[in-house]
């Protein structure tokens, strides 16, 4: 069976699917809560924000603001950042470089993985070790569906904060977080710039077959249930950036490591080539699944340009 053929969706069907899903969630309130948290850094305000994601699961994040920038009375640029697979939002100090630039940061947990955020989504059948093989037979019941709507609503939660300039709102992440940065921007027009480093959720059928990423969990599921290949690939097609790249309308910075066996270079280039907005990709022939200091500098320069 040709897996790639199975993962390709009719663009009109995909558009209709997401129009219906997003329209439904437009009417569901975020129920935002914000409470002060401690920070060892002077001049930094840290708040814990909670909002309702898919299926009413409370999603937790840090909202961090440099006080000097905020006290000037102007709205701040903001980055919304998503973690890699099995990781969490960590401590606020992780985001010091963005705060030094005068940006607000909304650092969001991913449901059920390494952080404080749980997962209300019931499993309809067993899954293999990890999260992404949950409920793979139906797009709207899948873990990927819940995850995607969580991050789309994260953008809305960030834009709703009074310190944030909604015209300067970037989605940022690496690996799983890079895939989430891309899909949040593809589905939420409030995003004005994207940094997606070594992203997952790209050309996902190829990743299932060949990568050691979280998609290897899907491969393990299919090893046990080979008769489910077609519905599983059909589900993944709804969340594959290969099919959603054309929805991106804002500047994008991406990176790829040629020695990366987790998020494979060929999957990342496949998506990059389909993006039609302003874009740039940094190729690192000697890098694996990592983001180096050189590229960190390029990320800073990219957002300085976008946020001017």
Q: Which active-site residues does the annotation give?
A: 175, 260, 289
What is the distance, to the nearest Å, from the Cα of residue 43 to the centroid of all Cα atoms in its chain?
Answer: 29
Joined together, the tokens standing for residue 65 give: 């603001």
- Whole-angstrom distance, CA of residue 265 vs CA of residue 170: 24
d(CA 45, CA 63): 8
Distances from the Cα of 102 to the Cα of 62, 71, 99, angstroms: 16, 11, 5
DSSP assignment string, 109-168:
--TTSSSS----PPPSS---SSSTTTTTTSGGGSHHHHHHHHHHHHHHHHHTSTTEEEEE
User: What is the spatial distance between Cα 176 and Cα 148, in angstroms, rounded to a whole number?
Assistant: 11
Q: CB–CB of 33/49 below 8 Å?
A: yes
List, in order, residues 6 or more apart from 133 with CB less than 8 Å away: 127, 143, 217, 218, 220, 221
């Amino acid at each position: 069976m040709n897996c790639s053929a199975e993962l390709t969706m009719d663009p009109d069907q995909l558009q209709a699917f997401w129009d219906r899903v997003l329209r439904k969630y437009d009417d569901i309130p975020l129920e935002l809560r914000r409470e002060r948290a401690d920070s060892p850094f002077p001049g930094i305000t840290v708040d814990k924000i909670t909002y309702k994601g898919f299926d009413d699961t409370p999603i937790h994040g840090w909202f961090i603001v440099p006080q000097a920038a905020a006290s000037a009375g102007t709205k701040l640029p903001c980055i919304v950042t998503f973690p890699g697979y099995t990781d969490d939002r960590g401590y606020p100090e992780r985001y010091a470089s963005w705060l030094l630039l005068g940006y607000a940061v909304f650092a969001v947990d991913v449901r059920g993985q390494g952080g404080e955020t749980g997962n209300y989504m019931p499993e309809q059948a067993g899954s293999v070790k990890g999260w992404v093989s949950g409920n793979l037979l139906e797009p709207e019941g899948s873990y990927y569906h819940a995850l995607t709507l969580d991050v789309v609503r994260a953008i809305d939660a960030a834009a709703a904060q009074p310190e944030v300039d909604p015209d300067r709102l970037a989605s940022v992440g690496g690996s799983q977080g890079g895939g989430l940065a891309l899909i949040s921007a593809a589905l939420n027009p409030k995003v004005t710039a994207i940094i997606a480093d070594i992203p997952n959720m790209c050309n996902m059928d190829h990743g299932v077959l060949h990568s050691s990423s979280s998609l290897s969990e899907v491969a393990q599921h299919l090893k046990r249930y080979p008769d489910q290949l077609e519905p599983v690939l059909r589900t993944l097609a709804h969340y594959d950036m290969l099919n959603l790249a054309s929805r991106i309308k804002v500047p994008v910075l991406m990176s790829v490591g040629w020695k990366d066996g987790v998020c494979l270079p060929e999957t990342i280039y496949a998506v990059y080539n389909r993006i039609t907005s302003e874009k740039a990709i940094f190729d690192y022939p000697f890098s694996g699944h990592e983001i180096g200091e050189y590229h960190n500098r390029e990320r800073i320069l990219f957002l300085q340009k976008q946020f001017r």
